[in-house]
Structure 1
Amino acid sequence: MNKHGEQLSDQIHFKLPGGLESEIKLKRCAGEFWFEKGWPEFSKFCSLDFGSCLVFRYEGKSKFHVLIFDESGIEIEYPTMPQIEETDEEEDDDMSTKEILEIEDDDKSVESLDIETDESLEILVIDEDDDDVKSVESLESFPLPQEKNRRKPHSSSKPSSLRAAVKAANKFVSSHPFFKITLGPSRKAHVPASFRKHFTPVKNQTARLLVGDRLWPVTLIFHPQNYRFSAGWRAFEKANWLKEGDICIFELMDKKNLALEVNIFRC
C-alpha cells in the first residue's frame, strides 16, 4: 500500500479467480488503511475465518486480484455465486466480534506455501487476538502461493457406510466425558444439552480440538439455550473433510483448558 496507496480511490474492487468482483470502501487515516463498507459481505461470502490468508495483486485502476488460502495453506474453493447463507439471531451475535486483519512479514503459515515470485502483492492474515484493525503494509516481491492438490480421505458413498458409522460410534467408550454429534446439511456443531453441565458458561471461550497430533482453536459460544462451535469451526471442518452424515465424538480431555479430542466416524 505504500507504493500504490496514493493511486487508490475511495472505492476499490476485489476480483476472485472465478471472475466475481466486489466493491469495497477504503478509508485512510494517518497513513493507515481500513476496509469498510462491503468488507463484511465479502468476508462472509468467502467464508473467511481465523487463520485465513489473503493475497492481493494490484492490477491498476483501484482493482485487486485476490487469492484466498485457509489456515493450512491450501487455496480455497471459491464461491460461484453471491448468495449469503441465512443466519439465525444467535449467529448475529457472532458478528459483534470484529474480524482482525494483521500483516506479518514472517508469518509461518505463508512460508509453508509453494511459491513463485511476483510483484506488488499485499498479504492479509486474519487474526482474532487483537482489538484493532492494523494498516496494510506493502510487501514487495512477496512469493505468490500456489494451489496444492487436495486429497480427500477415501469414504464410501454406499448407504451401508452410514449404518456402519452409526454402529461404530455407538460402540465408542471412554473414561473421559464425551458427547456425539451427527453432522447435518449445514455441518454446524451444537453441544447437546445433556453435556452442558461439563462446561463453565462464558460468553466466548476458545476450545482446543485435537485430531491426532494436530490442534485447532475453535470458539465455543455459550447461549442460555444453545452451546455451539463458531469461529474456527469451518477451518476444522475443511481440514478434516467433514461432510453431512459424519459422526464426531468429542472427548473432554482437559476441562480447565477446554481440550477436546475429536474422533471422526465417516459415513
Structure 2
Amino acid sequence: MSLKRRVEPSHFFKVILNSTLEDKKLRIPEKFVRKFGNEFSNEVTLTVPNGRVWQVGLTKEEQKIWFHDGWHEFVQYHSISTGYFLVFKYGKNSKFNVLIFDMTACEIQYPYVKEEPEIENEDSVEIMDFTTTPNPTFHTPKKKVFDKCSRSSSRMPRLLNRSRTSFHEDEFISLLEDMGIHVNKRFGNISAEKRERAIAAARLFKPKNPSFMVISRSIDVSLRRLYVPANFAKRYFSRDFKSIKIVDSEERKWSVQLTWMPLCFMTKMGGFARKLDDGDVCVFELIRPRALKVSVLKKTTQQMASRRRKQPSHFFKVILNSTLEDKKLKIPEKFVRIFGDELSAAVVTLTVPNGQVFRVNLTKDGTRFWFHDGWHEFIQYHSIGAGYFLVFEYRKNSSFNVLIFDTTACEIKYPYNDEKPKNEKQNSLHKDEMENEHSVPPLKSSKNKVFDHFPRSSSKVQPQPSQQNLAKPSFTAEFKRVNDKRCKMAEVEEKDYKSTHSSDKDKS
C-alpha cells in the first residue's frame, strides 16, 4: 500500500462560456475564495507550462473575486474560446499555474517562448536564437518569461494566435504596422512557415522605435543586399542618404550603402550579410537618423526548437452517468495518438495528490484505450459522481497523476487514513454560484440522462436571481450547449466505432 499524506486541495477549474468571453473577466469559485481569498493581493500571476508569466489584476466585490485587468489579453494570446477548460493551481503569494484544454479534452500546444536574458542596455539586441524551456505541469517552472499585459501590446496576441492560420494580406501587414514594424506590401503573401517566424520575431524583439522587417532570400544573401520597405524609406530616409550604419548586440558596426532604383535597398552589406541564410528574419530598428539596430531570428534554430518542443501531457474527462454504468473510462483518441505507443503495459498507475497509488488495467482495441479493471474501485473510493471532472497528467512509464474536482468546480479533499472524502454536495450550493459559472449545473446532455441525477439546490437558500443574470443566458443553458457539442462529437465517434466493429464481426 502506498504512503498517504494529508494535502490541502489547491486547484479549481473553469469552463469557458460565451458569457465569459463577452465579460472579459473570469470569476473564481466562491468555495475557493472562502478558502484562499484573504491571501490574494490586487494582482496575481498566471504561469502556463511553457514558462510564460502573466500579470492579471483582480476585481473584488464582497466575497466575489474575478480575474479582470489583463485577463482578456491572456485569453486572446492562447486563442481560448467557448468550450475550453482551464485548471488553476494556487501556489501561495497570489501565484497560479494554469493548464489549458481545448474541445478535444486534451491540453493545447502552448505558444513557444524564449527566455529573454536580462541586459543592462535595452538598446543592445543580440542575434537571438530560440532555446527550449522545460514543460512542468503542476509545478512552477524554473525558467520564466515575464510579460505584463499592456494596451500597446493588445493587438499582438491576435497576431500570434493566428500564426498558423490564413491571413488576409492587408490584415497581416496592418497588424505588424500597428506595432511600428514596416514591411513590404507583398509581405502578406509569404508562406505559413515564414509568417510564423515573422510573428515570433515581432513578439521576441518588440521594437520601441520605428522599425521594418525583412525575411532574407537566397538572392539577397548572394548579392549582399536587403530590401527596405518603401513606406519606411520614404518616411525616415532622405534620398540624400548614401549610407547608413547598422549595429548588432555585440556593438559590431557596418556601414552599408543605400541604393535607390527606384526602390530602396541596403547594399554592400559585406560581413553582416555573410551571417544570413535564406529564411532568416531581420528586424531593423531606427535608433538615430542614420543608424539601425538589427536583431535576427535564425531559421535553423527555430526549427531545432520546434523539434525539441515537448508534447502537452494532460487530458481531462467529465464523469457522466454512462461512465459510471460502464465502469470504465475512455482515454481521448488525440492523447492516444501522441502517447499510445508508450502505454505498452497492461497495467497503469494512477496517483492522487495525497500520494496514494492505484493500479488499473488498460483495455485496448486498436487506437481506443480504456481504464478498465480497477477503475470502478478508484471511482468508488473517491466517491466520484456524475458531473465530476478529472484531470490526468501522463508521467511516462504508464503512470498518471490525477486531480479530482467535484461539482463546485473545486478540488476534492482526498481521503486520509482510509477515511471517505468529505466533499461538498450540490445541495449546499447557493443559486448565485450556479448562475455564475461556479459549479456544474444540473442538466441533460444529448446523451440519455447524463446529468439528470444531480441533486438540486435547496429552495430555502436560493436568492432571487439579479436582473443582470436574467439579462444574459444562464450558465446552465450555456454549459448545456457546450456539453451537448462534446457529447455529439463522442456519439459520432462511438457510432463509427460500433459500425466498424460490427462489420468486422460479420466478416469473421
Pick the TM interval, shorter chain.
0.3 to 0.5
When normalised by structure 2's length, the TM-score is 0.21
Bigger Rg, which one: 2
Higher strand share: 1
When normalised by structure 1's length, the TM-score is 0.37
Higher helix share: 2
